[in-house]
Amino acid sequence: MHLYPANRPRQRSELIPGGVWLLAGLLVCATAVRDAGAQQNKAVPVLPTVTVTAKANRDPVEKSYRKIIRGMDLFEAQHNLAPAASLRFKLLARQRDTDMHQIEINVIGNSVDFLVPLAPDNTFSMERNKVAFDEDAQVVPDRKARSMTWRTDIRTPGLPPHTRRLGDLRLECRVGMEAGLISESVSLVGRIAGALVGTFVNTPAYCDKLDAQYLFFADRPLFGVTLVAGTRREALPINRLYGGASEERDDEDRSGCDCELLVDRTYFMPLGDRSWPDDTLVEFELMDDRQ
């Protein structure tokens, strides 16, 4: 007995064996699963690879390698301000509990990582590395942010004890600004001055202002500072000492100043006053010399 009339042509589907249909069904299911997985992968963004090293510091006190190199370039371009001096950079404690011994500084970029030798007085020079510059590497000490502050250190050799040279300090300010080692002023006057100079506050041009509030640090606590050029002598007023603390309120918040630990060593210079030549001596009268 035939289920189909002998003279009716069979449909194509009737000619395919059942096992082939089963295989086709499995292939369709597999394709559907694959396509669903692809759609799911498109919906989930691919996260960048993160590398964790032993040098990782969750709150680093770091600086831009590229900016430091630009500061070195400016030092060379304006070396006439301090022709006998060399350039170094210095780390200073900002908090009383900061351990300033055995500090390690690394320059870290995408593909570069090298150690910066640090002298016992926590000063260092920086080597030039094109790869680190191109990668905008970071100069990273193994200390937390706000635990230290940075300064340039430019000193003409052979000066009398407890003195600095004004041209050296002018160049320190300019290089420090160019390198991103910005001095923070705690005083209200300093904040107003910063607002007035606008975009120039973070540039070397700021150092040419008569009222520049760039903080310098003496090696020891200060009683007074005097400028000497030939027979001309002039003591700095009290508002140019101690981070401008004499003009603060008693409840003034000093935590924003990088002088918070070294406030008794700080002083401002009349950097933009060209009536004082670069060879002007800056004499320090120290607290412990008066005891």
**What's at 10, amino acid-wise?**
R
Spacing of C-alpha 59 from chain mean position: 12
Local confidence pLDDT in tens for the 291 residues of the chain: 444 444 444 444 444 444 444 444 544 444 554 555 545 444 444 444 433 333 444 445 789 999 999 999 999 999 999 999 999 999 998 888 888 898 999 999 999 999 999 999 999 999 999 999 999 999 999 988 778 889 999 999 999 999 999 999 999 999 999 999 874 544 434 444 444 444 456 789 999 988 888 899 999 999 999 999 999 999 999 989 987 665 555 555 555 567 677 889 999 999 999 999 999 999 999 988 776
- Model confidence pTM above 0.85: no
| Residue (of 153, 160, 96) closest to 124 by Cα position | 153
Cα separation, 111 vs 56, whole angstroms? 15
For 134, the token pair is 């191109």
Cα separation, 270 vs 209, whole angstroms? 8
The pair phi, psi for residue 20, each rounded to 5°, is: -70, -40
Q: List, in order, residues 6 or more apart from 61 with CB less than 8 Å away.
A: 141, 143, 144, 145, 146, 147, 148
CA dihedral 203, 266, 236, 173 (to 10 degrees): -20
Q: Crossing angle for the helix pair 166-178 and 65-77, nearest 10 degrees?
A: 140
Give Cα separations from 196 to 22, 77, 191, 241 (angstroms). 82, 28, 9, 22
Domain ranges of the chain: 63-290
For 152, the token pair is 């340039």
